[in-house]
Structure 1
Amino acid sequence: MISIKELSKVFYTKDQNVRAVDKLDLDIEKGEIYGVIGYSGAGKSTFIRLLNRLEEPSDGSVTIDNENVTQLNKSKLRVARQEIGMIFQHFNLLWSRTVYDNISFPLEIAGVKKEERKKRVNELIDLVGLSGRGESYPSQLSGGQKQRVGIARALANNPKVLLCDEATSALDPETTDSILDLLVDINRKLGLTIVLITHEMHVIRKICHRVAVMEEGRIVESGNVLDVFLYPKQKVTRRFVDQVMGDPDREHSLGLINETYKSGEIVKLHFIGESTNQALISELSRAFTIDVNILHGKITQTQKGAYGTLFVQFVGDKEEIDRAITYIQTTSVQVEVNPDE
């Protein structure tokens, strides 16, 4: 659906040249919700603006539905952008226009007739949960309601792709969840391809199918969200995963665990999908002559299923501990002995 090859963006200044996006390659499948995560300065906002040429690339190509967007002239680009909706962090609404008129605006530009516009706008108002607010002005809406208007406006021309530029970072956690639920609903109902950038792993965890991690203009890690949670390879990725798993200072925590619990073995258990319901600890206590101390753990949910981690200490005869670990390896629970950085 979206194919990005060698995409680069360099900003030229008097003092230095800044390479915001550096030879980025990425393929996004039709109908998926693809997340791009990175800290401030990683290049993710520039990247998403390159997809519809709000920023002009310095090099490389962006192909959407078999059309090379980077090669289009201005008139063809205007037409192509009607199939690429975009929502923004700070809503970008027209404050002098009502909800109805904000949503209608892109249809007016596209030359859609009045009756057809009216039908489409009313459909979208219902879709985003704003029934009865069509005559309200943005100043009369909450942050979440404003973003719903932004989403409806982005969907006005039946786009194939929806780009979300930090769409929830200006919202409180409860409102963020309601907007994310709406995006999932839209994705399922319309089969819309969604590209979402964020600096919050909670957003990736909740709605994305796949994720790419950006750092210094490059993708340093990518894959299915559950796989990235399970096996984060880069330090920056582990920091993002720890946002959700409740251990923002993972390195210190592991050091403290290893320093405090020096006897036996420290084991990290990974529970995936149905294994999160498995009564493994009680099974181990019954089957083996060992003491099992639970040190730290958490379970969270992704689009691909539940994922949990549990740090435990096994105390007892080393041979018996090894037997217990071997038993765990025969189950659906994954085990990591003496985990460290």
Structure 2
Amino acid sequence: MISIKGLTKKFLIQHKEITAVDDLSLTIKKGEIFGVIGYSGAGKSTLIRLINRLEEPTSGSVIIGDKEITNLRKGELRNARQNIGMIFQHFNLLWSRTVSENISFPLEIAGVPKDEREKRVQELIQLVGLAGRENAYPSQLSGGQKQRVGIARALANDPKVLLCDEATSALDPETTNSILDLLVDINERLGLTIILITHEMHVIQKICNRVAVMENGKIVEQGEVIDVFLKPKHSVTKKFVEQVMGNEEGDLTEIIDDHSAGKLVRLHFIGETANQALISTISKQFNIEVNILQGKINQTKLGAYGTLTVQILGEIEEIDRTITFIKEETSIEVEVLAHA
């Protein structure tokens, strides 16, 4: 488990004090993929560098397992960092070294014997899908392959925690998905705790268990990914959700104006309920008609989520019976938007 308490980082820039991380507290469970999202300048990259003390905190503490990282001396910190791997947006590879030599580098620093190094490098090359590219140089690799080298290098010392600082933002969508799939595979195989920094909500949606939203150095919202997607509270979170869900509120006024008969209802689907044949069921069971006006369903690591806006037509008593049935007999949440 990772416990962050009261973490603060202040920089002095041109005689002006800037607070990049502001009294931040956070708990990350062992073995989970935890996302931190925020726009540029939110403080998320500073946060991840504070976790392994690439940046020195102004105040506060970071505890990983049974070690308080913020209290360790240089020698102790060097040893502790072997349990904390890190991958970067721009790969940070050694351009004069081959794939194998890049992956071997942290093992050399740790004093691992040559035979053990070579065996470990081959294991990691197979793990990240780079078989046959062992002797290639970074200049001969695609962006996705470079990041796979970065991931293998970060895993060389068998860390318990993997920090990912915008690890996919320099990649195209297809390559991004392949790298995210690799991170999920590594998480499941090795039981790694992964902290993923990003400004892209679809990255959070695809692989994270929980997410924290940062603004101005603070966490403004956090929770299970499905909960945050379906019920975003903070304005920044709502903007991020619109990246993948679209701006449903922006279309709502026009929909209401164009469909004044019956009742307009928004259905919130969570988890397995997104796969229920609700529309078919209520159309057969009640004397009503249902028009689907707008909807979107997405998948997260923990299940499906989404919303569906429908117009229910019929006698008002029958419409009310239908809505009551949905509320009481299913786990789908119902929001009445407008009625005649």
TM over 0.5: yes
* 1:211, distance to aligned residue in structure 2 (A): 0.9
User: Paired residue for 1:5?
Assistant: 5
Q: Distance in 1 between matches of 2:235 and 2:199?
A: 15
1:287-309 residue CA offsets vs partner (Å, 9 max, x unmatched): 33333221111111111111121
1:9-63 residue CA offsets vs partner (Å, 9 max, x unmatched): 1111235322111111101111111111111111111111110111111111000
User: Paired residue for 1:148?
Assistant: 148
* 1:315, distance to aligned residue in structure 2 (A): 2.8
Q: Distance in 1 between matches of 2:273 and 2:64?
A: 39
Residue 336 in 1 paired to residue 335 in 2? yes
User: Paired residue for 2:29?
Assistant: 29
Q: Distance in 1 between matches of 2:255 and 2:11?
A: 46
Q: Could you tell me which of 249, 252, 255 is aligned with 1:254?
A: 252
Residue range with higher mean Cα deviation, 215-224 or 156-165: 215-224
Residue 294 in 1 paired to residue 288 in 2? no
1:197-233 residue CA offsets vs partner (Å, 9 max, x unmatched): 1111111111111111111111111111122122222
Q: Distance in 1 between matches of 2:299 and 2:287?
A: 33
Residue range with higher mean Cα deviation, 61-70 or 297-306: 297-306
User: Paired residue for 1:94?
Assistant: 94
* 1:70, distance to aligned residue in structure 2 (A): 0.7
Residue 267 in 1 paired to residue 255 in 2? no
One-letter identity of the residue aligned with 1:200: E
Q: Distance in 1 between matches of 2:228 and 2:23?
A: 22
Q: Could you tell me which of 304, 308, 311 is aligned with 2:309?
A: 311
Q: Distance in 2 between matches of 1:290 and 1:138?
A: 63
User: Paired residue for 1:104?
Assistant: 104
Unaligned runs of 5+ in 2: none
1:97-136 residue CA offsets vs partner (Å, 9 max, x unmatched): 0000000000111111111111111110111000011100
* 1:312, distance to aligned residue in structure 2 (A): 0.9
Q: Distance in 1 between matches of 2:236 and 2:174?
A: 26
* 1:241, distance to aligned residue in structure 2 (A): 1.9
User: Paired residue for 1:284?
Assistant: 282
Q: Distance in 2 between matches of 1:264 and 1:242?
A: 28
* 1:264, distance to aligned residue in structure 2 (A): 2.8
User: Paired residue for 1:158?
Assistant: 158
Residue range with higher mean Cα deviation, 86-95 or 9-18: 9-18
User: Paired residue for 1:237?
Assistant: 237
User: Paired residue for 2:135?
Assistant: 135
* 1:336, distance to aligned residue in structure 2 (A): 1.4
User: Paired residue for 1:326?
Assistant: 324
What SS class does the counterpart of residue 60 from structure 1 fall into? strand
One-letter identity of the residue aligned with 2:74: K
Q: Distance in 1 between matches of 2:258 and 2:59?
A: 53
User: Paired residue for 2:70?
Assistant: 70
* 1:78, distance to aligned residue in structure 2 (A): 1.2
Q: Among all aligned residue pairs of Structure 1 and Structure 2, give the percentage whose two residues are the same amino acid.
A: 70
One-letter identity of the residue aligned with 2:334: V
User: Paired residue for 1:120?
Assistant: 120
What SS class does the counterpart of residue 82 from structure 1 fall into? helix
What SS class does the counterpart of residue 27 from structure 2 fall into? strand
User: Paired residue for 1:55?
Assistant: 55
One-letter identity of the residue aligned with 1:75: G
One-letter identity of the residue aligned with 1:285: S
The total of aligned residue pairs comes to: 337
Unaligned runs of 5+ in 1: none
Q: Distance in 2 between matches of 1:279 and 1:46?
A: 46
User: Paired residue for 1:41?
Assistant: 41
* 1:318, distance to aligned residue in structure 2 (A): 2.6
* 1:338, distance to aligned residue in structure 2 (A): 1.3
- Please list every run of at least 4 consecutive aligned residues from structure 1 whose deviation after the TM superposition is greater than 4 angstroms: none
1:262-318 residue CA offsets vs partner (Å, 9 max, x unmatched): 333221112223322222112222233333221111111111111121111223333
Q: Distance in 2 between matches of 1:115 and 1:11?
A: 44
* 1:260, distance to aligned residue in structure 2 (A): 2.9
Q: Distance in 1 between matches of 2:211 and 2:275?
A: 26
One-letter identity of the residue aligned with 1:337: V
What SS class does the counterpart of residue 229 from structure 1 fall into? helix
The root-mean-square deviation of aligned C-alpha atoms, in Å, is 1.4
One-letter identity of the residue aligned with 2:273: S
Residue 224 in 1 paired to residue 188 in 2? no
